[in-house]
Amino acid sequence: MLKSEALNVEKVRADFPILNRKVHGKRLVYLDNAATTQKPNVVIDTLVDYYSRYNANAHRSVHTLGEEATAAFEGARKTVSRFVGASSPEELIFVKGTTDATNLVRFAWAEKNVKRGDTIVTTLMEHHSNIVPWQLVAKKKGAEVKYVGLNKDGTLKMDEFEDAIRESPALVAVTQCSNVLGTINDVARICRLAHEAGAVSLVDGAQSAPHMPVDISKLGTDFFAFSAHKMMGPTGIGALYGRKSLLEGMDPFEGGGDMIKEVHTSGATWNDLPYKFEAGTSNIAGAIGFGSAANYLSEIGMDKVRRHEVELLEYALENLSKVKGMTIYGPEDADQRGGVLSFNLSDVHPHDLATILDERGIAIRSGHHCAQPLMEWLEVPATSRASFYVYNSFDDVDSLKEGLEKANEMFGA
């Protein structure tokens, strides 16, 4: 039996209680990590500890529980900030997730700074959360959204990108790693080009922060958005990194408690960063769990996480390509892609395939993956998607291959 050279997968799997369950009497093979990841005991225990031992509102009270909750909440901010290489915790805003983060930038920065006739540059491989907010801004402000195209292998046409950036757009918004193709983009280069043209840059890190080392100080981006639930943390919590000089010039996204310094009948003044953008009671438990997840991944080592996924990708690309009727999308080189494998199998509809695999205990995603412009470019209505993480093994890939071959038999392929 093949074993990962980067990780002790069996030891890692022991930390995830859900992996002990069976689905339809079969061992759970969870390959839907790009949608959401499973949670280790340490994150679950962290949530239970908060609610059972020091549940209180952060930043409000001077009693013991309130001070403990505040300390844990702000400690999590420091942890998550370090995890992505942000220069200061005050530049890291807790939000609901990546979608919430991009919409914060939409309302608090773009609607103030994008003018009639401006362009916003993004790509055809983006998740809807990095397309729709900019479409809405463009419609409201009389601007235009331009989409950079893709090469046949699913990589960006960088010559198109350079041409679009030369036109001095207001904003350049790009994913670091495609949630469908797995393509890893050179966002450091893109951000550098954007800044040279006077544009603000935003990087969607939903699929990169959980799977590879990320250092915002080296990327040079103005905004970086990511979600906790895709990196072993709770749902409903994420973070937006924003460059301090930009955040200071932005108006609050929402009004209410904690985002103010003073309120009078004549008006209000705003709190310091990052609290100016955290109106109301935050997802305190979620943030603390987020910090716990970041610590867990840091203890494993993000370089090891990345190496393990490359191992799995190499094995999967080699073996799944041998299945009759398989079409795999994205770069052929595992080093050029994240732990995502989207494909179609003969004439089997992705939803039918997902159902067949589920009967064998295998969880994959089927559909357009919130990336319909990309589906149109691929000229398919949907794809199937298997996505890997630290608790996946070569055996999981073998199980997927067996399931695909079984589907072929059922459909007479």
* Residue positions annotated with a catalytic role: 370
- The beta-strand segments (E) located in 223-339 are 223-227, 238-242, 260-264, 267-270, 326-329
Q: Which two tokens stand for residue 395?
A: 């055996």
Distance between CA atoms of 43 and 234, rounded to whole angstroms? 8
In this structure, what DSSP letter does residue 242 have? Answer: E
CB 357 within 8 A of CB 226: no
Among candidate residues 306, 299, 134, the one with its CA nearest the CA of residue 223: 134
The phi, psi pair for 327, rounded to 5°, reads -125, 115
Strand order in the sheet with 238-242: 92-95, 238-242, 223-227, 200-204, 171-175, 119-123, 144-148
**What does the alpha-carbon distance between residue 71 and residue 65 come to, in Å, rounded to a whole number?**
10
Q: DSSP string spanning 161-199?
A: HHHHHHT--SEEEEESB-TTT-BBP-HHHHHHHHHHTT-
Q: Tell me the C-alpha distance between 246 and 105, whole Å.
A: 10
Amino acid at 375: M
Question: Could you tell me which of 38, 127, 41, 153 has the C-alpha nearest to residue 396?
Answer: 38
**How far is the C-alpha of 31 from the C-alpha of 345, rounded, in Å?**
17
Structure token pair of residue 389: 């993480």
